[in-house]
């Protein structure tokens, strides 16, 4: 199913446009000011799986949710579990307290412990934050179809490098945690998207970053069109990969001052965007949404009992719900469009999405392409 296409382009560059709201400057989660993304890719060896040794097809992505000292100026956040077959760590405290105080790492399932440990070391000893306690947030998908997961190949230095490499702009597809991941039986990984909102004259941004690892080819829909069925014909080259399980991590950021309750409601709408790409969220899938706001910070008011702050009124939430759904859908498409074919352990191979064929299918379905992203 592979095609000889040149450099990959994002879904929007192919004329696909999700929803009616416009994207931010980079159509990326880093369009939310203060959000930075870094990644380290680990690709080594080939051939049969030797548990603990390789081949290695994994990585780590680091997302700084806001600028400055996150421990002293915590970031309001909420989590929503679509399906909890998941080993993510740090979420009990996010659920109770409604904030995060570390960068968010995404990685392969069994690297979570090492990444959490490295994140503490980095923040304590490289940044001088904390020393008392710290709640590292590490999200995961399972890259075992391509990767030697038993080897837990993401080490301290990779975490440090991912954190240090963070910048505005997002490398998509086989980047960081996305190196070994799949998406609807194709190669997937990291994808991102953003939306600009105008609420009664006030501009706000919403951004999404996903690490995809879910879905079966037959279910794939592109902006509603059943592309998966058409691509599959009678056979499903990715069926083996599908049986290796699923998962998706969805991060949603906004600069609007949303309360924890509102962030949770926004996080829940990621399900709508995810569902529109076709999956029903398998029973073996860990599908977790983490949403946060950079619109205010949580700080001790010193000698005062109370803090005064600004929050979006509940009556203004609907555009944010729409943005969360649309960004999630488009971020998933970008993961598909930007990932490159990858061969991993035991010759397992995930093909990149045949974007040309997909375009042809969309054309046959009367899809109304847009000239410009």
Among 237, 217, 236, 243, which Cα is nearest to 228's? 217
Tell which positions 63-82 bind a second copy, by CB under 8 A: 81-82
Q: Using CB under 8 A, which of 153, 195, 322, 345 touches a second copy? A: 322
Considering the rule CB under 8 A, would residue 15 count as an interface residue with a second copy?
Answer: no
Among 83, 195, 348, 352, binds a second copy (CB under 8 A): 83
d(CA 200, CA 177): 38
| Dist. CA 277–CA 336, nearest whole Å | 11
Cα radius of gyration (the chain): 20
Quick one: which of 132, 233, 234, 235 contacts a second copy (CB under 8 A)? 132
Of 44, 182, 61, the closest CA to residue 115 belongs to 61
Of residues 287, 329, 330, 351, which has the active-site annotation?
A: 287
Q: Which two tokens stand for residue 250?
A: 């969805």
21 contacts a second copy (rule: CB under 8 A): no
Which residues fall within 8 angstroms of residue 62, CB to CB, at 6 or more apart? 37, 38, 39, 103, 104, 105, 159, 162, 163, 165, 166, 176
Stretch touching a second copy by CB under 8 A, among 27-35, 83-91, 336-344, 346-354: 83-91
For residue 94, what is the DSSP state? H
Annotation says 287 is catalytic: yes
Rounded least distance, CB 307 to a second copy, Å? 5
For residue 51, how many other CB atoms are within 10 A of its CB? 10
Site membership for a second copy, residue 6 (CB under 8 A): no
By CB under 8 A, which span of 26-34, 36-44, 124-132, 182-190 interacts with a second copy?
Answer: 124-132
**291 forms part of the interface with a second copy (CB under 8 A):** no
Q: Which residues have C-beta within 8 Å of that of residue 210, sequence separation ≥ 6?
A: 190, 191, 192, 248, 249, 250, 251, 328, 331, 332, 335
Burial (CB < 10 A; 0-12, 13-18, 19+), residue 331, is buried
Binding status of residue 22 toward a second copy by CB under 8 A? no
Rounded Cα distance, 207 and 193, in Å: 6
Site residues (CB under 8 A) for a second copy, limited to 168-187: none
Report the first-to-last Cα separation within the chain, whole angstroms: 26
| Cβ-based nearer residue to a second copy, 270 or 339 | 270
**Total interface residues for a second copy by CB under 8 A:** 104
Among 44, 364, 369, 370, binds a second copy (CB under 8 A): 364
Residue 285 among the catalytic residues: yes
Lookup: tokens for 135: 């709640």
Per-residue contact string for residues 332-361; x = within reach of a second copy by CB under 8 A: ------------------------------
Identify whether the C-beta of residue 298 lies closer than 8 Å to the C-beta of residue 246: no
Residue 149 binds a second copy (CB under 8 A): yes
Interface mask toward a second copy for 237-276; x: CB under 8 A: --------x----------xx-xxx---x--xx-xxxxxx
194 is catalytic: no
Q: Which is nearer to a second copy, 22 or 261 (CB)?
A: 261
Nearer to a second copy, 134 or 168 (CB): 134
Q: CB 282 → a second copy: shortest distance, Å? A: 6
Residues 184-243 interacting with a second copy (rule: CB under 8 A) = 199-202, 218, 221, 223-226
């Amino acid at each position: 199913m592979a095609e000889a296409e040149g450099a990959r382009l994002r879904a929007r560059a192919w004329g696909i446009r999700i929803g009616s709201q416009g994207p931010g400057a980079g159509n990326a989660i880093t369009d939310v000011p203060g959000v930075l993304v870094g990644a380290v890719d680990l690709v080594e060896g080939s051939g049969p799986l030797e548990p603990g040794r390789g081949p290695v097809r994994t990585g780590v992505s680091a997302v700084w949710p806001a600028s400055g000292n996150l421990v002293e100026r915590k970031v309001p956040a909420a989590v929503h579990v679509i399906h909890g077959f998941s080993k993510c760590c740090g979420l009990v405290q996010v659920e109770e307290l409604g904030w995060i105080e570390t960068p968010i790492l995404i990685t392969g399932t069994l690297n979570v412990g090492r990444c959490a440990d490295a994140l503490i070391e980095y923040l304590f000893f490289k940044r001088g934050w904390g020393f008392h306690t710290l709640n590292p947030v590490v999200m995961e998908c399972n890259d075992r179809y391509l990767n030697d997961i038993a080897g837990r190949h993401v080490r301290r230095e990779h975490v440090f490098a991912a954190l240090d490499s963070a910048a505005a702009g997002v490398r998509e597809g086989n980047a960081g945690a996305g190196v070994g991941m799949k998406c609807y039986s194709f190669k997937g990984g990291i994808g991102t998207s953003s939306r600009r909102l105008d609420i009664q004259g006030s501009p706000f941004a919403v951004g999404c970053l996903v690490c995809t690892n879910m879905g079966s080819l037959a279910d794939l829909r592109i902006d509603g069109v059943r592309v998966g069925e058409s691509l599959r014909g009678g056979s499903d080259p990715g069926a083996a990969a599908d049986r290796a399980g699923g998962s998706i991590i969805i991060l949603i950021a906004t600069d609007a001052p949303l309360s924890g309750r509102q962030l949770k409601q926004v996080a829940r709408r990621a399900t709508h965007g995810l569902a529109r790409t076709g999956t029903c969220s398998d029973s073996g899938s860990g599908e977790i949404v983490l949403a946060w706001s950079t619109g205010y910070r949580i700080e001790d008011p010193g000698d005062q009992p109370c803090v005064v702050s600004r929050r979006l009124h509940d009556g203004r939430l609907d555009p944010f719900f729409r943005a969360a759904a649309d960004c999630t859908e488009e971020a998933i498409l970008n993961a598909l469009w930007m990932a490159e074919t990858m061969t991993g352990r035991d010759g397992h191979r995930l093909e990149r999405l045949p974007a040309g064929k997909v375009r042809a299918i969309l054309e046959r379905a009367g899809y109304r392409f847009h000239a410009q992203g």
